[in-house]
Homo-oligomer: A and B are copies of this chain.
Amino acid sequence: MTSVGIIGGSGYTGGELLRILLNHPNVEIKAVTSRELSGEPVYRAHPHLRKVTNLKFIEPNIEKISSLCDIVFLALPHGKSAIIAKKFLEVGIRVIDLSADFRLKNKEDYPKWYGWEHPCPELLEKAVYGLPEFHREEIRNAKLVANPGCISTASILSITPVIKAGIVENERIVLDVKIGSSGAGISVSKATHHPEHSNIVRAYKPIMHRHTAEIEQEVSLKTGEKIKVALTPHAIDMVRGILVTGHLFLKREVSLQEVWKAYREAYQNEPFVRIVREHKGLHRLPNPINTIGSNFCDVGFEIDPHVNRIVTFGAIDNLIKGAAGQAVQNLNIMIGVDERTALGFAGVRPV
């Protein structure tokens, strides 16, 4: 039995971590923190967990939590996680960090993409980028896992096979993203005010989105190809889910079989990646709705002879494969149990 703590448990990611871990046969939740709700039952923040658990929030006391837990999940704002992670690591606690604070290998990338100097750059090289499909072996013994960004997960998994196959131009990769409002977290803002977020399509960071950096880093690392990504995310009227539509230009003619093979080789043994590409029907390509509530990433593609393009698709539930589910997948690898433990739920559909 592994003892775990959730640091920052009152937000949406914290809620999903709780929900998943409460059903985990090899894990006991020893601590879940919230400054604001300390002493209150977790169902105060997560009303769907009423009668599911009697857990209460506690103060985020690192010393106390260190004495209780083997592994901690950090569900904290970007930029606040690094220092906390360091403290846990110093006392031998393994850390799965859901912020961006350890995703980038190059310390110069933090000022460039995030606007701040990294407070503990020496940890960057020790951190493992927690995308199991790419780094399973390193995760196994990692002390510090940097859980990938949500847009990044769907992007990386959907485009890597065609880049690795060497068939597309590496500098003109368009990733057009559509994302639900839960990605913005639990804090209110004018952007997520219901009358302002209903029936909309709003490009909220049309250029220089932060996830660009980790996508380029990881795909380049995996494929040996230096790539550049043109990423534009759009907020739409949806709570959960991400679809990343990739538009990549072919360097040469390709056959359907060739592309199929690239995806199949990449993912045929992966428990949480599904290749979705049927000849017809409403569900012939990835659509986030078919992943909601599950840890699956659906990937698919189409070849466009008109403009020598491959269109790729990656769909996930941003709070699960894009956050809490992937974190538990990492945990499973770290503690040596079946990677699918507690992640077997198939999703809720329609919803």
On A, residues with C-beta under 8 Å from B are 12, 15, 19, 22-23, 44, 46-52, 171-172, 174, 176, 178, 180-182, 184, 186, 188-203, 206-208, 212, 228-230, 232, 234, 236-241, 243, 245, 247, 249, 271, 274, 276, 281-283, 285, 287-294, 296, 298, 302-307, 309, 311, 313, 315, 344-351
Interchain nearest-CB distance for A341 vs B (Å): 13
Contact of A345 among B206, B276, B313, B345 (CB under 8 A): B345
Q: Which residues of B contact A349 (CB under 8 A)?
A: 15, 46-48
Q: Are B238 and A346 in contact (CB under 8 A)?
A: no
With known contacts A48-B294, A172-B172, A306–B230 Cβ distance under 8 A:
yes
The interface centre, meaning the residue of A171, A237, A289, A344 with most chain B CB atoms within 10 A of its CB, is A289
Which of B230, B243, B249, B347 interacts with A48 by CB under 8 Å? B347
Report B-chain residues with C-beta under 8 Å of the C-beta of A292: 48, 199, 348, 351
Q: List 23 A-B contacts (CB under 8 A).
A: A12-B195, A44-B283, A47-B276, A50-B298, A51-B274, A172-B249, A176-B176, A176-B245, A178-B178, A188-B188, A188-B190, A196-B350, A200-B289, A203-B245, A207-B306, A212-B306, A228-B307, A230-B247, A230-B311, A232-B311, A236-B238, A237-B238, A351-B351
Q: Looking across the interface, which residue of chain B has its beta carbon closest to that of A216?
A: B306
| Inter-subunit contact B243/A274 (CB<8 Å) | no
A118 to B236, CA, bound (A): 38
Checking B230, B288, B302 against A307 with a beta-carbon cut-off of 8 angstroms, the contacting residue is: B230
